[in-house]
Structure 1
Amino acid sequence: MKLQFYKKGIPTKIIKRIAILFVVFVASLIFFEIITNVSEVVEVSSQASPTLPIVRVNYLNDASTELHGYVSEMDPAYMRDAIIPLDSERNISLSIDVGDYPVDGLSYEIRSLDTQRNISKNALKYKNKKGTLTASFQAENLIDANEEYLLVITVTSKSNKIYYYTRIMQPEGCNEEEILDFAQYFHNTALSEDAADLATYIEPKPSMANQDLSHVTINSNLSQVSYGTFKATQAGDTNVSITDISTNYISLTLDYTLNLDNNGKNEYYTCSEDYRIRYTADRIYLLSYDRTMNQILDENSISIKDNLVNIGITDADVQYLSNETGTIVSFVQNGSLYQYNQNDRQVKEIFSFVDNPADIRSTYNQHQVLILNIDESGTMDYVVYGYMNAGPHEGFCGINLYHYDAINNISTEQIFIPSTSSFQILNANFSDLLYETADNEFYIMVNGTLLYMNLNDLTTKELLTGLDDRQYASSGSRRYLAWMDKATISEQIHVMDLETGNNFDITAESGQLLRPLAFMDEDLIYGTLYEKDITTDGAGATIYPMYSLTISDITSGTERPRKTYSKNGYYITDVSIQSYSIYLDRIQFDADGNILQADQGNIKNSAGEQNKAVPITTDIDDVKQQVVILNMTPLEEGEKLGKIKYEVTDLVLADENHSISVASATSSTQYFVYAGSKVKLATDNLIDAIAMADEEMGIVLDNEPKYIWKRGRKAYQTSISPITIGSSDFEASGSARALSAMLVHEGENVQVHTLLENGETPISILSKTLKDYSILDLTGATLSEVLYYVSNGTPVYAYTGEDTAVLIIGYDSTSIIYFDPIKGANAKMSMTEATDYFASFGNVFVSYIK
């Protein structure tokens, strides 16, 4: 019998086939890798160092203001970083750090602040000594004392031009030198070993957080003002920016960098001090002091222990996003973007302009980073907007969209949108609607225009145009947009899901109207009113009193109301949201139909505050005092953190085709609130602007620009005269007589009573008659705030009931002077009594700017 043997394992033929298939598979991988690399060659680079020269304008003996260059012409009306005070001879001295940068020419131009009038334009001779250019010139005698003018310095390099913007003024009676000396004394003394002398100037309040060096004010204690246990030294010079000059006060900002030796580790901190100072013959008054400090993070200065990430001295309101498990967090600090991956034990510097902390071009803080989204791996989209300190867009102001791939650790530039506005205007106006879809589609709201961009083929399209700020709202994720077709109130609210492109409408019931107000996370907040309740106030402005507020979930493609708020006798005019609380601006009506301001309402939602995978807390450090902590997911029991790696992410920069100019403008008047050199608010609501400026001790400008309101006013104002009623309105109502006297004061005599009888309002009459003036509806402002206009020699119309009004024409520390149009004579009222009296009629005021 023949025996047959079988070999154990896989047959030889099968093995040969597997080997052949494996070789083919490997060859295919290599082939496709080669093809992919050939078709998608990308140039990986790191962030470049700054190259543009810095222009220093020298004045008042030892002060200098640094100007940073723009490679394209900006809208000069909004370039308001500083005012250079000129001496009696109007001399201007420049020094320019050019290094190896090739310079072919230097020139200057002086224009009126509204840019409509050219004062002079001349080339400049200069000397070049070891990379520093020096030049000086005398401003023409065409400028008026105490008047602001625009100065543009232009540096020519081959065929390129670099523009530097500032303002100049020849002050008289402003005591700018004494005030600057005091600010520098205060600054130096705070950094010295003995700062006891500063106690005279500060106003400590027990309620202030007195171990927080990230934000120090005039109400902080002396230890905090003098840096407490934080013993650092200043690195480099102090940059001085005088931001507002008047005979009442001067505002200025000091910027500098501090260097701390922290147990052998070299750490850097950027600091900015805002001062508002008044000089009198008797003494100097520190009206306001506000200092911010932010740590520059690097490999040496970030500290991680267990699951706690210590990011040092910075504002505790950190802008950050984390993955759902709390193991990866991306956060913004001091204009740079970082990510910590607890799983990989790695800190990544995703984006930063800081190349050298001692280089003022690297640390120039006129930009911001906004994180748009993040996934579980840490991949995210983010935006860098403002002044570009370095790189291919150096010297531009604009919006740069990036995609960060966490797997390959690369940031790719997707699109750049240049802007002619300064960072401060761009930041204040920056859209709360930027969204990138999974299909590489990008949405952004620019000046009331919703723009769609396909990032694959770079096509753009305007989806909505002409929207005012109060006409739309976007959700917390920016994925959902709610808007109405009309500017004030509408029968329908449209809702769009930008990710899917799907839309639906919320429609009012018969006789009712709607208005989108805001979002709380993804929940839409809108108001409802009866059409019959629409009314006008004593100045003629239309009031839209909403009787109810609805909070609705709109993420399912339809409306699902969560909560409805209403209170009998109260009407909502607007809302604001802070820390998951909805604040309601409310009014009531008295028996005569007068509108009265009511107490602010409040609706709190604590659910959102609790839904954070990485909570932010603070701790006390022996050297730095209060520090900010990111609390990651706790480590497993017995798990050790080990060594933390620090890595700088590579960049893939886009070509020139990925720069897209957007031409879009709004026709409505906007108001900008400046506190120091910073724009705190951009709004179309004048009363909101004045309230913010009052709170921040700032100023309000419109978009021409004109000064609309200042926190400072004269201590007293004698009666504005003459105040005379027009001949045709002697027998008219009190309201008509007051308006008539207001117009006669400006040289206009019209039949006001006839216009009122024909349906005109105080605002419409003033607007049509005083065509070269800006008419200001100040309804809702306080008496103290409207006295600013009286201080400037302009009467204020004050509503005192149906068909009656008075003109406020003067004041002192305890009382106001008003013109009674019925009696045709001036009268006095105490400040306290007047405040309550006008408030009882809704604080309805009207004035104007010449």
Structure 2
Amino acid sequence: MKKTIIKLSVFLAVFIVSLIVAGRIMNQGHDNLTMELAEATYPIVTMERNGIAYNQLHGYREAMETAFQRDTVTVLNESRSTDFTVDTYGRNITGISIEVRSTDGKRLIEDTPVTDYETDGERIYGTISLKDLIEKDTEYSLAVVLEADEDTQLRYYTRAVWSDSSYVDEKLAFVTDFHQRLYDRTAAEELTKYLETDSSLEDNSSFHKVNIHSSFRQITWGDLPVEEVGEPVVSLKEIASQTASILINYMVCTSGEEETVYYQVEEYYRVRYTTDRMYLLDYERTMTQIPDVQNMYANNKILLGITDENVPMVESEDGNVVVFLAANQLFSYNVTNNKLTVIFSFYDEHNMDARTLYGEHSIKILDVDEGGNVAFAVYGYMNRGRHEGQVGIQIYNYDNSLNTIEELIYIPYQNSYAVLAAEMERLLYLSRDQKLYLSLDNIVYEINLEEKTYSQLVHISQDDSMQVSENHKIIVWMEGEDFYHGSRLYIKNLGNGTESEIAAEAGDAILPLGFMGEDVIYGIARREDVTEDSSGSVFFPMYCVRICNSQGELLMEYAQDNIYVTGCVVRDNQITLDRVTRLENGAYETAAQDQIMNNVETEQGKNVVVAADIDIYERYVQIQTRNTIDSSTIQILTPKEMVFEGGRELALSSEQETARYYVYGHYGVEGIYSLPARAVNLAYDMAGVVVDNSGSTVWLRGNRVTRNQIMAITEESATEERGSLAVCLDTMLEYEGIIRNAEYLLGQGQTALDILQENLPDAQILDLTGCSLDAVLYYVNQDIPVLAMLENGEAVLITGFNEYNVVIMEPSTGRLYQNGMNDTTQWLSENGNRFITYMRVE
């Protein structure tokens, strides 16, 4: 018995030692399989003009689609040159060259080495000079190419324009002076004449968002003792002869007795130059506090400070793990073990410079489980790490037990972050069975993360042919090109993979309208009621609106006698319906709007975002956790990244065939549309720019002269043999040097859109129905006539304008005359604002 006990003791001792050794070996192996996120290695290129540094460019590992590289525009001087600097950060640069292309990238204009530069330590100073191959006031794509060590080419993109009428020096000087005065309230008093302070538009309660309507005190930082840290980064976003849009990015800090708090700040300016003075058309400042992981908790609060109150946050089902985003950093707080983890960030206290702080990327939380594991996406420009200098979508998994992050898949993307961000806002969802769903270039992809394969699930033919729920879990779509005569809807629950269909009855057409939560809203119209006029505009009166769940089961129906719904808007828990009634003669008359309410309250989580007013900091954002946070025992963790052999890259094939229109606003792409009218309307509201697939400007606001008239177009009369629409179409075609018989073509069933598209091959035809007269005058300013259709079937051409009048060619009366701007605006609005025009394509 004694021997048995001794043997057992020896066995247990050996077993315990073996466990310890094995554990050490496993831990050592685990350490060898992980690494810190690699540091940033790319230089930065900055343009200079008359002593002002602007357009800080970040390098790309490979050639990108130039049509979408429009983050900045560089104005060349009279000799077609510009100064530049390169901050190398110790990277060995062996050569510099430039590539000049057309904005669509198809035409290489110049590929020239740069020899006019000198090196001073870790900075290169030089001058770029373009050859006499470019035209004035025309945008081009300019790529600065750095030859780095190991035969690596790094590309830096900007648009370039050679102009002596942009007044860029005056605009840059005004903006930089405005920015500097904000720190000195006495000096800033000079700025009050540019502000449009209005307390009814701004309550001045938060420093996170300040704009042109804020109070003078709020714009000059209130009582916050802010100090600027480092040099501000100025970016020229858009430039025209009168106007410019400019961004300034910088960092400020506030110093207290115990700590210094840092903030990232972005200022947007839109200015107009005149010979008399400068005008500030728009101003907005966004301030975001950078969390200090050592001092971001108190009692049962995680302190986020001055930031957006709409904090992206997901918690586990039991509420013990809360994952949130703050200042482009991903955090996880575990309530049960009092651990705070900085899951992902390109910057930290050891990696904080212009490269790591560059904000052209986003992070999205995809899933959080009870074990504290987190699936998330990083998409956009990769500041550092394995994919430094690339644009793409990186799907990660955070393993809570190992405290590691691991790349599951990387999807490269050749367009810009601005476009990618707009695409991901539409759809990016991960199911629990590791299937990723995303929308790119009008295609919905289903990606199997385990097998690294994909399939194309949906081809989106028009803007509204697919609708997505707010949480991206449910999608509904219709197939086919005939958007207004669809007979079937398809619903897919991306969470569990179930699919269902909704079929319209014989003689009906069906249209997806949107979502109320996860419930589908759709409308039904009688096919015989769906009409298309001679301009190509479609009228779709819905006699019934229905709401169903994701299984296609009917939840409610809205239908009233002789009431037809023409559109709907979903906001919060309310659906607002636009309605018409049908008169005895078959015409329709606008009726009062109606509402459908959703009384189901959104369930609140166990950890919630709250905001409080805190003395000089004003609105202060916090996460209220389910338990009190013990600051004396809290652990701060930073995971390492798992290392793996080979690559996990998956390239998605896409053949983009449909025209798309990109709306660029204050901070990037605000919308992508297949219908130009929707793009122009959004750009008009936000004083933005519309760009097409080739990078050509379709529309912009604020560059109109005070008067212009197309003198080549004179009065023309309609006859019994040729109606006013035919006269207008013939006039437009003749103006472009093409002779056709539009009356005959209309008689063959062609619409005005068909005729113009078929006979103007070097133009892009634009249906701008629904846009305002003020918006379409942009084309008249470009010496392009605008066709306007009237309710009585007649048509007119808009051929000129001044400050007070519009020039109209009216074939029904045979007149070319001026009409008051306000009267014409009202007249055309009452006729539905049905406009057709075009833009010339080079």
Count of residues in Structure 1 that have an aligned counterpart in Structure 2: 833
Indicate conservation of the 8 Å contact 2:791/2:832, yes or no. Answer: no
User: Residue 623 of structure 2 is aligned with which of 627, 630, 639?
Assistant: 630
Query: Could you give the per-residue CA deviations for residues 186-217 of structure 1, whole angstroms, max 9, x where no partner exists?
Result: 10011224222221111011131312111111
Separation in structure 2 between the aligned mates of residue 300 and residue 38 of structure 1, nearest angstrom: 29
Equivalent residues in 2 for 1:449-488, closer than 5 Å? 449-465=443-459, 468-487=462-481, 488=483
Listed as ranges, the matches of 1:502-651 within 5 Å are 502-554=498-550, 558-566=551-559, 570-584=563-577, 602-605=595-598, 607-633=600-626, 643-651=633-641
Q: Distance in 2 between matches of 1:266 and 1:198?
A: 29
Q: What is the alpha-carbon distance in structure 1 between the residues aligned to residue 490 and residue 722 of structure 2?
A: 47
Across the aligned residues of Structure 1 and Structure 2, the Cα RMSD in angstroms comes to 3.1
Matches within 5 A, 1:183-582: 183-194=175-186, 195-207=188-200, 208-300=202-294, 302=296, 304-356=297-349, 358-430=352-424, 432-465=426-459, 468-487=462-481, 488=483, 489-554=485-550, 558-566=551-559, 570-582=563-575
Equivalent pair of 1:431/1:445 in contact (CA under 8 Å): no
1:820 is aligned to 2:813: no
Query: How far is the alpha carbon of 1:118 from its aligned partner?
Result: 2.3
**Residues 1:165 and 2:157 aligned together:** yes
Deviates more, 1:588-597 or 1:292-301: 588-597
1:711 deviates by 1.6
Deviations 1:491-524 (A, max 9, x none): 2222233344332222222222222333333222
Instruction: Give the secondary structure class of the aligned counterpart of 1:453.
Output: strand
Q: Distance in 2 between matches of 1:666 and 1:79?
A: 18
Q: 1:103 to 1:602 in 2, by over 3 A?
A: farther
Contact 1:726 1:744 in 2 (8 A): no
8 Å CA contact 2:249, 2:267 repeated in 1: yes
Q: CA deviation at 1:387?
A: 0.3
Structure 1 residue 218 displacement after superposition = 0.8
The answer as to 2:819 corresponding to 1:832 is no
Q: Choose 310-319 or 348-357, whichever is displaced more.
A: 348-357
Alpha-carbon deviation of 1:630?
1.8
Task: Please say if 1:121 is aligned against 2:120.
Answer: no
Q: Percent identity at matched positions? A: 30
The answer to whether the 8 A contact 1:46-1:650 is kept is yes
Distance (Å, rounded) in 1 between the aligned partners of 2:74 and 2:120: 25
Which stretch has the larger CA shift, 456-465 or 31-40? 31-40
- 1:653 to 1:206, Cα distance in 2 relative to 1, 3 A: farther
Give the drift of 1:824: 2.0
1:284 & 1:773 partners in 2: Cα distance? Answer: 36
Q: How far apart, CA to CA, are the structure 2 residues paired with 1:285 and 1:339?
A: 46
- C-alpha distance 42-780 of structure 1, shift in aligned 2 (>3 A): farther
TM-superposed CA distance for 1:569, in Å, is 5.1
Structure 1 pair 843/376, CA: closer, same or farther in 2 (3 Å)?
Answer: same
Change (3 A) 1:18 1:577: farther
Aligned partner letter, 1:548 = C
Structure 1 residue 124, shift from structure 2 partner: 1.7
- Deviation of residue 428 (structure 1)? 1.3
The whole-number CA distance in structure 1 between the counterparts of 2:599 and 2:315 is: 19
Alignment counterpart, residue 125 of structure 2, candidates 127, 134, 137: 134
**Counterpart AA for 2:330:** L
Which of 784, 787, 795 aligns to 2:777? It is 787
Looking at structure 1, the residues matched to 231 and 548 of structure 2 have their Cα atoms a distance apart, in angstroms, of 54
For 1:691-730, list aligned pairs within 5 A: 691-724=681-714
Taking structure 1 as reference, are residues 214 and 657 closer, same or farther at Cα in structure 2, changes over 3 Å only? same
Amino acid at match of 2:66: P
Q: What amino acid does structure 2 have at the position aligned with 1:333?
A: A
CA shift, 1:607, in A, is 3.3
Residue 182 of structure 1 pairs with residue 178 of structure 2 = no
| Contact 1:595–1:841, Cα closer than 8 Å, also in 2 | no
Letter in 1 for 2:524: T
Task: Name the CA shift for 1:697/1:464 in 2 (closer, same or farther; >3 Å).
Answer: closer
After superposition, give the CA deviation of every residue in 1:807-847 in whole Å (9 maximum; x if it has no partner). 11222333322111122221233233222222222211111
Higher mean Cα deviation, 386-395 or 132-141? 132-141
| Greater Cα shift, 787-796 or 610-619 | 610-619
Amino acid in structure 2 at the alignment position of 1:518: G
2:338 touches 2:630 (CA, 8 Å); kept in 1? no
Distance 1:697 1:655, change over 3 A: farther
TM-superposed deviation, 1:654: 4.6
Aligned to 1:668: 658
Name the stretch that deviates more: 539-548 or 731-740. 539-548
**Matches of 1:543 and 1:33 in 2, distance apart?**
72
Once residues 275 and 259 of structure 2 are traced to their aligned partners in structure 1, the CA distance between those partners, rounded to angstroms, is 47
Pick closer, same or farther for the CA change 1:597–1:219 going to 2, 3 Å: farther
1:84 corresponds to:
74
Assess if the C-alpha contact under 8 Å between 1:96 and 1:134 holds in 2.
yes
Ranges in structure 2 where 5+ consecutive residues have no aligned partner: none
Deviation at 1:568, TM superposition (A): 5.1
TM-score by length of 1: 0.91
Moved more, 419-428 or 106-115: 106-115
Aligned partners of 1:543, 1:17: CA distance in 2, in Å? 91
Contact 1:529/1:544 (<8 A) preserved:
yes
Partner of residue 800, structure 2: 810
Q: Which residue of 1 aligns with 2:749?
A: 759
Distance 1:610 1:702 in 2: 42
Give 1:67 shift: 0.4
Q: CA deviation at 1:41?
A: 8.7
Asked if the contact 1:56/1:67 (under 8 Å) is kept, the reply is yes
Question: Equivalents in 2 of 1:12, 1:84: separation in Å?
Answer: 90
Q: Which amino acid aligns with 1:122?
A: T
Equivalent position amino acid for 1:559 in 2 = G
Deviation at 1:605, TM superposition (A): 3.3
Q: Which residue of 2 aligns with 1:6?
A: none
1:532 partner amino acid = E
Q: Which residue of 2 aligns with 1:153?
A: 144
Q: Which moved more, 1:79-88 or 1:623-632?
A: 623-632
Distance 1:311 1:431, change over 3 A: closer
Q: 1: CA distance between counterparts of 2:37 and 2:347? A: 9
* Worse-superposed segment, 622-631 or 215-224: 622-631
Matched, 1:732 2:700: no
My pick for the range that moved more, 321-330 or 601-610, is: 601-610
1:630-681 deviations in whole A, cap 9, x for unaligned?
A: 222365xxx9775443322332245442111112132111111112451111
Answer yes or no: is the 8 Å Cα contact 2:786–2:797 preserved in 1. Answer: yes
Which amino acid in structure 1 is aligned with residue 392 of structure 2? G
Which one-letter code corresponds to 2:228 in the other structure? Q
Aligned residues of 2:509 and 2:527 also touching (Cα < 8 A): yes
Q: Given that residues 595 and 842 in structure 1 are in contact (C-alpha distance below 8 angstroms), is that contact kept between their aligned partners in structure 2?
A: no
Inter-partner Cα distance in structure 2 for 1:593 and 1:36:
80
Match of 2:759 among 762, 769, 775: 769
TM-score of the aligned structures, taking structure 2 as reference length: 0.92
The answer for the alignment partner of 1:7 in structure 2 is none
Report how far residue 401 of structure 1 moved: 0.3
Cα deviation per residue 1:218-259 (whole Å; 9 max; x = unaligned)? 111111111112221111112111111112211111111112
**Rounded Cα–Cα distance in structure 1 between residues aligned with 2:432 and 2:14:** 34
Distance 1:788 1:422 in 2: 27
